[in-house]
Structure 1
Amino acid sequence: MDDGYKMLQHVVRQVFGNLGQAVRLTLFLTAAPMLLLVWLSAQTVPGPDGMPMPEYPGFIFLVSILNLILSAWAAVGWHRFVLREEYGNGIVPQWRGQNVKSYIGRLIILVLVMILIVLAIGIASGALILATQSVLVIWFVAIGIAMGISWVAVRIGLILPAAALGEKMRIAESWQATKPVSTDILVPIVIIAISITVLSGAVEAIFGSTLVGLVLVAGVYWIQILLNLSLMTTVYGMQIEGRSLS
């Protein structure tokens, strides 16, 4: 587990030691769709049939697509900054259309695989929950599923930094490459999840649903995204490129 703690330290240094670049490469792109929705809500722009535009299903779909593209662009930029020291252009990373397209494709595959796993685990655990009908069992099962899904996502998620670099990698190759660190990656996964949960809970308890509270919670989850991206980047650097944690 010592390597797990070293991995966690490396991930935290990677994010907070480069927070300025993180802001330039990812903050605007991840916030833009939400800012668009907030602005349109304030303008009360009507959509078809007089329905407010932000509530119109077609518009929500378009914003979701925009969010996917911008998020992939930000993720590609972050992976490439860490692994290739590639800096951005002002408040956005360099646009690499082919890499972003490949990233989105592999992300969709990853999500579909995770959905199938969740369904399989849900069916299996559902029988246990029905048999025991215990709140404690439900709580432990939910935590176990969340941690298990995160673990699998990292194990097969090296296909994402590979896509950002324009490299080919299959899910099976990612799974095999992460086998030597399969236990170690549990440490950053668990500690990051607990830390973010506690921090976001504290913010909500202190600030409630105020504007300041919403902004701070959004900031906490932005940090979580960066940490998770950096974990995959770190594991990719270790297991594929042979980098050390020093």
Structure 2
Amino acid sequence: MIFGDLKTVLRVSIPVIVVLAAAIAIFGGTMVTVSDFPADGLALPSLGLMSLFFVAYILAILWMAVAWHRYCLLAEYPGAFLPNFHGDRIAAYFGRMLMLVLIAMVIGGLGSFVIGLVIGTGSGSFGVVGGALGLTGMLALIWAFQRLSIILPAAAIGEPLTLGEAWAATAPLSMPIIGVLVLLLLFSLAMGLAVGALTLIHPAIGMLGNLIMSWLQTVLGLSILTTLYGVAVQGRDID
């Protein structure tokens, strides 16, 4: 899906590429922290500018996500320069993503609270058991989040799913999804090592490598969601 049609992937990614290129040109690729700001408040415009770029980046990611889902599932090709902008689908995508994040936060918080009550916060074996339960709960939450996330490509193409429908549709793929998550973890670790090696060569090369790897991971995640939706809901073959 990615390297077999890299030209289209790059065209769909143009909003993100433009925003990142503008950010690098303006900020010079440097990280600005609160401790860097002078006490007289002269840096407040920089904060505003960074906030503006953050909003633009989120919008660009959503724009790219909707365009990629629609290309893969509806064969909707991007325009001559920019992918088609579907404001209503982007808003729906953002709303469902926000809903998933809030649900995950609530469940994660409740899970941590329950583990804290049952195990306690002591050290020794209790701490080890609590850590193991916490890790298991986190992995289970990520697995459930992945299954429910097919509501995102559904929103992108205008065929929304309920959470219950998404959960039922992905039930036959429960075990394969675990395998995919393991492969994603290994891929992320490999990319992190690669970026670290590039940074040792030169910080600028490392920064560029980090941007490329982040973009690749984003497109890969979107492609996995698209595939899950196509197989689980539309009944497509994995090939």
Measured against the shorter chain, the TM-score band is 0.7 to 0.9
- Tell whether the 8 Å contact from 1:129 to 1:137 is kept in structure 2 after alignment: no
Partner of residue 110, structure 1: 100
Partner of residue 16, structure 1: 3
Q: State which of 5, 17, 25 in structure 2 corresponds to 1:39.
A: 25
Q: Which one has a bigger Cα radius of gyration?
A: 2
SS of 1:244's equivalent? coil
Give the CA deviation at 1:199: 2.2
Higher mean Cα deviation, 212-221 or 126-135? Answer: 126-135
Q: Deviations over 1:178-214 (max 9, x none)?
A: 1111111111111012112122223213423611111
SS of 2:195's equivalent? helix
The one-letter amino acid paired with 1:121 is G
Give the CA deviation at 1:34: 3.4
Q: CA separation in 1, counterparts of 2:61 and 2:23?
A: 16
1:92 aligns with 2:82: yes
Q: State which of 143, 161, 172 in structure 2 corresponds to 1:151.
A: 143
Partner of residue 238, structure 2: 245
Partner of residue 29, structure 1: 15
Give the CA deviation at 1:140: 5.7
Structure 1 residues 218 and 123, CA gap change in structure 2 (3 angstroms): farther
Give the CA deviation at 1:76: 0.4
Structure 1 residues 138 and 19, CA gap change in structure 2 (3 angstroms): farther
SS of 1:185's equivalent? helix
The one-letter amino acid paired with 2:162 is R
Kindly, what percent of the aligned residue pairs are identical?
A: 27
Q: CA separation in 2, counterparts of 1:63 and 1:94?
A: 21
Structure 1 residues 129 and 25, CA gap change in structure 2 (3 angstroms): farther
Partner of residue 51, structure 1: 43
Partner of residue 4, structure 1: none
- Tell whether the 8 Å contact from 2:198 to 2:209 is kept in structure 1 after alignment: no
SS of 1:149's equivalent? helix
The one-letter amino acid paired with 1:180 is P
SS of 2:139's equivalent? helix
In structure 2, list runs of 5 or more residues that go unmatched: 29-36
Partner of residue 81, structure 1: 71
Partner of residue 8, structure 1: none
Higher mean Cα deviation, 71-80 or 59-68? Answer: 59-68
Q: CA separation in 2, counterparts of 1:141 and 1:205?
A: 34
Give the CA deviation at 1:117: 2.4
- Tell whether the 8 Å contact from 1:77 to 1:93 is kept in structure 2 after alignment: yes
The one-letter amino acid paired with 2:54 is S
SS of 1:92's equivalent? coil
1:199 aligns with 2:191: yes
Name which structure has the greater RCO, CA cutoff 8 Å, separation 6+.
Answer: 1
Aligned length: 228
Structural RMSD (CA): 2.9
Partner of residue 234, structure 1: 227
Structure 1 residues 170 and 214, CA gap change in structure 2 (3 angstroms): same
Q: CA separation in 1, counterparts of 2:53 and 2:7?
A: 27
Higher mean Cα deviation, 121-130 or 170-179? Answer: 121-130
Q: CA separation in 1, counterparts of 2:80 and 2:131?
A: 45
Structure 1 residues 17 and 121, CA gap change in structure 2 (3 angstroms): farther
Give the CA deviation at 1:120: 2.5
Structure 1 residues 211 and 179, CA gap change in structure 2 (3 angstroms): same
Partner of residue 130, structure 1: 121
- Tell whether the 8 Å contact from 2:112 to 2:134 is kept in structure 1 after alignment: no
In structure 1, list runs of 5 or more residues that go unmatched: 1-13
Partner of residue 31, structure 2: none
